[in-house]
Amino acid sequence: MESVSFDLATTPVRELNRFLHREAGNGRVGKVAVLNPDGAHNIAAGLDCPVEVEIHGHAGYYAAGMNKTATVTIFGSAGTGVAENMMSGRVHVKGFASNGAGASMHGGLLVIDGDAGLRCGISLKGGDIVVGGSVGSFSAFMAQAGRMVICGDAGDALGDSLYEAVLYVKGSIKSLGADARIEPMSEADHATVEALLDAAGMSHDAGIQHDPRDFKRVASARSLYHWNADANQEY
């Protein structure tokens, strides 16, 4: 299959995205390399075909947003909202991710090798997020479905107003949000963490020492599922 490259030092992002939305879906293009991204916003947003995109450098806001079936690798860090509203496919950030990574994801896999900023996985609706480092405060706020694996630490209010999503944290948790609680890890949980680490390339086989037995399970206590007039807004 054909490989194509775009140099954003001389080509507008609009032209790159137009190619990805139109020509890349014809089945003849297998890989698209993006050179000199220089923090440009909206790179590879709204993809709807199984193309492979490699971004060689740092990406700005909303890189690979609304992704569907494509594989996007960022050989650098990503700004706010990377992989937001992703439907399927894979997005891999080799560096760090800023605020709102994976916001409102419905499916697919988001891998962040480094740390993620505030509100990682906010309003998660499905899919999986694996973070090799730590996440900022209010991560997984109102996460409705899906799974997150955090190999580092978590900031304040982790999983605030959590629904059916499940979080696995290896490091320390500064504080849990409303209705989030730590639960015992089962053998199924250990298997889940191992499978997600393997999918993210962070398993023992990759030479990274993450033992699924070192992770904690965070899930919803389900006390917010029904209105309680006696709670006086205190949960």
Residue 119: other Cβ atoms inside 10 A? 24
Q: Please, are residues 33 and 3 in contact by the beta-carbon 8 Å criterion?
A: yes
Average of per-residue pLDDT values in the chain:
94
CA atoms within 13 A on the CB side of 93: 31
Give the whole-angstrom CA distance, residue 167 versus residue 164.
Answer: 10
Is the pLDDT confidence value at 232 over 80?
A: no
pLDDT the model gives residue 2: 86
Q: Is residue 85 a part of any domain in this protein?
A: yes
**Sheet arrangement for strand 166-169:** 2-7, 29-35, 52-56, 71-74, 90-93, 109-112, 125-131, 145-150, 166-169, 216-220, 180-183
Q: Is residue 78 a part of any domain in this protein?
A: yes
Q: Is residue 141 a part of any domain in this protein?
A: yes
Q: Is residue 231 a part of any domain in this protein?
A: no
User: Exposure string (b/e) for 8-40, b if CB count within 10 Å is 16 or more?
Assistant: beeeebeebbebbeeebbeeebeebebbebebb
- Give the distance, in angstroms, between the CA of residue 43 and the centroid of all CA atoms in the same chain: 16
With cut-offs at 50, 70 and 90, classify the pLDDT of residue 204: low
Q: Is residue 167 a part of any domain in this protein?
A: yes
Rounded to 5, what percent of the chain is helix, strand, coil? 15, 30, 55
Highest mean pLDDT among 15-24, 153-162, 196-205, 206-215: 153-162
Please list the residues that pair with 219 across neighbouring strands: 181
Q: How many domains does the chain have?
A: 1
Is the pLDDT confidence value at 91 over 90?
A: yes
More confident residue, 160 or 231: 160
pLDDT the model gives residue 132: 97
- Residue labelled with tokens 């006696």: 230
Express each pLDDT in 158-190 by its tens digit: 999 999 999 999 999 999 999 999 999 999 999
pLDDT the model gives residue 233: 61
Q: Calculate what percentage of the chain has a pLDDT beyond 90.
A: 86
Cβ contacts of 68-73, under 8 Å, gap ≥ 24: 70/44, 72/44, 72/47
Q: Is residue 116 a part of any domain in this protein?
A: yes
Q: Is residue 234 a part of any domain in this protein?
A: no
pLDDT the model gives residue 27: 76
The pTM of the full predicted model, rounded to 2 decimals, is: 0.94
Burial environment of residue 184 by CB neighbours within 10 A (0 to 12, 13 to 18, 19 or more): exposed
The tokens of 125 are what?
């609706």
CATH of the domain at 106: 2.160.20.60
- Which residue range(s) make up the domain with 217? 2-222
pLDDT the model gives residue 235: 52
Express each pLDDT in 19-30 by its tens digit: 999 988 777 888
Burial environment of residue 198 by CB neighbours within 10 A (0 to 12, 13 to 18, 19 or more): middle
Q: Please, are residues 119 and 143 in contact by the beta-carbon 8 Å criterion?
A: no
Q: Is residue 196 a part of any domain in this protein?
A: yes
pLDDT the model gives residue 167: 98
Highest mean pLDDT among 15-24, 125-134, 226-235: 125-134
Task: Identify the weakest region by mean pLDDT among 67-76, 126-135, 163-172, 200-209.
Answer: 200-209
Is the pLDDT confidence value at 207 over 90?
A: no
Give the whole-angstrom CA distance, residue 70 versus residue 162.
Answer: 29
